[in-house]
Amino acid sequence: MSIAEILDTMEYGPAPESDKEALAWIAGLGDETKLFIGGQWKKAKSGESFETTSPASGKVLTRLAQAGTADVDAAVKAASKAQPGWAALSGHQRARYLYALARLIQRHSRLFAVVESLDNGKPIRETRDIDIPLVARHFYHHAGWAQLMDSELAEREPLGVCGQIIPWNFPLLMLSWKIAPAIALGNTVVLKPAEYTSLTALLFAEMCQKAGLPEGVVNIVTGDGATGEAIVNHPGIAKVAFTGSTEVGRHIREATAGSGKSLTLELGGKSPFIVFEDADMDAAVEGVVDAIWFNQGQVCCAGSRLLVQESVEQRFVAKLIARMETLRVGDPLDKAIDIGAIVHPVQLKRIRELVEIGVKEGAELHQPKAAMPSKGCFYPPTLLTGVHPASTVSRVEIFGPVLVATTFRTPAEAVELANNTEYGLAASIWSETLSLALDIAPKLKCGVVWVNGTNMFDAGVGFGGYKESGFGREGGREGLAAYSKPKWLAKAKPIAEKPAPQTGGDAVSTAFIDRTAKLYIGGKQARPDGGYSRPVLSPSGALVGEVGEGNRKDIRNAVEAARKATGWAAATEHNRAQILYYIAENLEARAGEFADRIAAMTGRRKPEAAKEVAASVSRLFSYGAWADKFEGAVHKPPLRGVALAMNEPLGTVGIVCPDAWGLLGFVSTVAPAIAMGNRVVVVPSSSQALAATDFYQVLDTSDVPAGVVNIVTGDRDALALDIARHDEVDAVWYFGNQAAAAGVEKASGGNLKQVWTETVQRDWLSAQGEGREFLARATQVKNIWVPYGE
């Protein structure tokens, strides 16, 4: 075709990228790849391997080693051996290694990009211009955190060996998200790339060798799900980081329960793409292209649910259908195509089946008329209109280039539809009225919101979800918490719960004893559903009083009351601070009574009990102070815009208080939670429950709205399980024994709620008993991206 003909027709390419160097590198791996363990290339001990193919052509690229349990064990041992020495290096020394890796990735960027496109099927323009630059950015950014760790994270230390399992949709980028922060803070890693897309991980291992990274710091083991399971279950792993499906994430949550392993999960999504009537329609159409047809829609945060304001729906859909006709599907190495290949025939089959279900349920199918490639795993860009919010394709993550569309009339309805999903990963808002967009963004139950943009990522801005999209963050300062722990934990002793005293028959004689202490639900005293009570005894066995024996129905009632108290999260931080100060004031006014009660329940001397009350008052003042000061941040990623990192409440938090400190343990856990806008269902100390039932009288006189604090007394461990199983509870904190903590973690898998279990002794009277650690546990970070300019 001549230049004149090209200018006349304005047709695209083709503009193929050479795969010569990439295929030569793959051929250099041999007939079968090896595992990267302890800085050396080693054959899988089982001798097993499997084929990896190019999804665009179906051709076999090579055979990958299948790591078994023995290989994983060898990798963990190598990582364990290397970890102390790696952590002992200065931050500057670790930073130099990360900097070297960033430079090597840039130096070999085209090779990485072509291998990724061959192996994954995504367009070369995406791997070249988006994935690889972001990979380098992550290593540069975290080289900075390595340098600054001693000053900025002085009270934290590495976890140890981190087991990391990544998906096939962004093979190298997910590797960088996992490895960079882990090794920057002194951890070592055992990483399993996805079964379908392991090649760039092996190329990265070569870069580790070229950078002179100490042996065992990074270990790469290829394999299928059994390899990942071996990593999850290995006792030498201190932390598991997983990105993948919600189903597998739930299994990992249950498998790691009681192991003591730290866990972060970045799971599925069904993200809304909201278009208001005042949006720039043409820009929003291009936004849709980026949101759902980027990487063939194989993106966990893909804008797969299009919500269009009813007044502009017909015009917008017409523009979108016209734009779909111009999208080119074809060879990923052709720089002129827009959509590449689906990663594997299994995934292609699932996409087809779900689209068929959508049409059967009444959706109207729109696909471009252009012919599809005759070979390879390709699927056209697809739009389903007239979709009901309850339909299968509206609820299920398709993970392909399929967009489902519905309409809304008002902003409130848009929020309701957007939140009508078990997922909560990301959202995109399109409006020329910034005040409207910033009003809607905090109301969306997801971890990332893009305003007039989509699929923007940066190493300095955290990424992660709410609800069944997982917990924890990748990137940003908040992402570092997942790869570090407070230094004091290293010397902490396990909680040793004392056996309950035997009943002595005598009652402690104090004038204020209330033998009919009730539960506290929805701002009212409530009799326990079962009609039973339990004694609170002194160490000598004397009866101090009785409290209600709560059960599962009482927990249900308390959760319902907490869910209704939505106004608390919407209250200003100043208002919440005032109420916390007021609680402290009223507790101080009754300090003598509380000290007497604590002395009676614990057998401690009155001056010692008075110290606990004074510490509780001080703690309330601390969280009154923090209520309007634990603020977010304004990130400046490398684009024209900002990202607003907002600390948001978790929602309804179940708190099972430490048993040893009846009043201080109650206040130290409840106060940070409500200071940040959460509503709580609290199970207080069993042995000192009267401190909590006395405390609700303080709440009654302190303007605390009904339902913000709900108290259910009874068997702590049994009630903890009831809370963990409840799907309307967003997080659980448990302080107690190892066996019960394991039960709580396993039971939480139902809705993948956030869990904080602590089974070691904390010095509640010291600085360990308060501060940023508690506030971080009481919040989750939402990053709102706001680009600016023409």
Active site residues: 266, 300
- Provide DSSP, 694-714: HHHHHHHTTTPPTTSEEE--S
φ and ψ of 631, to 5 deg: -100, 170
Q: How many residues does the chain have?
A: 790
Token pair, residue 20, equals 């010569």
CB atoms under 10 Å from CB of 356, counted, come to 12
How, if at all, do strands 470-471 and 448-451 pair?
Answer: unpaired
Contact 719, 625 (CB under 8 A): no
Closest to 396 measured CA to CA, from 423, 418, 359, 414: 423
Which are the contacts of 371, defined by CB distance < 8 A and separation ≥ 6? none
652's enclosing H/E stretch is: strand 652-656
Site of tokens 């072509």: 114
Q: How far apart are CA 638 and CA 545, in angstroms?
A: 62
Strand partners, 406: 307
Q: How far apart are CA 6 and CA 13, in angstroms?
A: 9
Quote the distance between the C-alpha of residue 376 and its chain's center: 34
Instruction: Report CA Rg, the chain.
Output: 28
What letter represents residue 660's amino acid?
A: A
Closest to 56 measured CA to CA, from 389, 379, 300: 379
CA atoms within 13 A on the CB side of 754: 25
Q: Can you tell me whether residue 491 is helix, strand or coil?
A: helix
In angstroms, the Cα distances linking 277 to 113, 127, 409, 713 are 39, 34, 10, 51
Quote the distance between the C-alpha of residue 37 and its chain's center: 29
Backbone dihedral region for residue 523 (phi beyond 0: left; psi -120 to 50: alpha; all else: beta): left
Closest to 714 measured CA to CA, from 735, 747, 745, 683: 683
Strand positions, DSSP E, 533-672: 533-537, 543-548, 633-635, 641-649, 652-656
Closest to 465 measured CA to CA, from 427, 426, 425: 425
3 state SS for 107-142: HCHHHHHHHHHHHHCCCHHHHHHHHHHHHHHHHHHH
